[in-house]
Homo-oligomer: A and B are copies of this chain.
Amino acid sequence: MNSKTVNEATHLNNLAQEQLNFVLIHGAWADVSFWDETAASLRQAGHTVHVPEYAGHGPKIDPEVTHDDIIQSVVNYFTEQNLQHIVLVGHSFGGTIIAKVAEFVHDRISRLVFFDAFVPKDGESLVDQMPEPVQQIFHGLSTASGNNTITLPFPLFRETFANRATAQQARAIYDVSPTEPAGPLFQKLDLKKFYSLEIPKSYLFLTEDIAFPPAPFAWHPAQSSNLGMYRLIVSDGDHVSTVHTHPDIIAEKLVEAGRD
């Protein structure tokens, strides 16, 4: 028992904020522009931000890209840039990316932040996290595409990915959303090493994010609880529009999730 009280021991609100080094990994049906406003807000607050595009995504979608290709491209970015002390953030599908990337460059990472992101169990794919009827829909959409990609219908996107947005905002975001290569979403992932790492982990959950059923528990606690011990940060917001409409709040929550 220490004889000091909390009040005697510290001036809780007079402490300098640590400066963080972020790497931000977007999800499916998106590219690096997903992070434009959030990255600007983080930089404004004094943090360093990297937003690498990953394999098969960006201006030219590659329907044949594999999950391994994606991991390799991000790992290469870490080593080429010689990144250190990184807060690695993955949104949605990006959760499967940061979990695997951590297996290769964990010594360069101070913390993983899963932002309404998938945390598959060892041996499972992103699609395996969904209820059986939704899995069937994903299979149907990818088969119907003729080139192994998946495009979300606008009504589904507007109601469940951009529910907090106006109709115009939702349409604007949808209009620049690329189609998604289906292969990596179905890739079963060997995550044994990830689950053996002692790296600190956080989960950022937005309470109106019902992008994947069964809502609202697909993200938290259904996916978050796969992490074991983790730091929970909660805000309001939806799956894709809030990063564009309220980037300062998202940036603040990423700092709360990412700091030591």
Which A residues contact B (CB, under 8 angstroms)? 1-10, 12-13, 15, 17-18, 31, 33-34, 36-37, 59-61, 155-156, 158-160, 163-164, 166-169, 172-173, 175-179, 200, 207-208, 210, 213-217, 220-221, 224-225, 229-234, 236, 244-245, 256, 259-260
Contact = CB atoms under 8 A, between A and B. Distances in A.
Given A15-B169, A172-B6, A176-B6, A208 B233 contact: yes
A210 B224 CA distance: 12
Contacts of A163: 231-233
A214 B225 contact: yes
Contacts of A13: 245
Contacts of A260: 167
Given A1-B178, A160-B229, A234-B207, A244 B169 contact: no
B231 A5 contact: no
B33 A259 contact: no
A31 to B, nearest CB: 8
A221 B232 contact: no
Contacts of A9: 172, 175-176
A10 to B, nearest CB: 3
A200 B1 contact: no
**Main SS of the interface on chain A?**
loop
A1 B179 CA distance: 6
A159 B231 contact: yes
Contacts of A156: 229
Nearest to A61: B1
B229 A155 contact: yes
A230 B221 CA distance: 21
Given A159-B200, A164-B256, A176 B229 contact: no
A18 B211 CA distance: 25
A11 B33 CA distance: 14
Contacts of A177: 2
A33 B207 CA distance: 31
Nearest to A40: B7
A59 B177 CA distance: 53
A225 B212 CA distance: 12
A86 B233 CA distance: 34
A244 B33 contact: no
The 6 closest A-B pairs by CB, nearest first: A10-B172, A5-B33, A1-B178, A167-B260, A163-B231, A159-B231
B244 A12 contact: yes
A208 B232 contact: yes
Contact of A159 (B208, B221, B230): B230
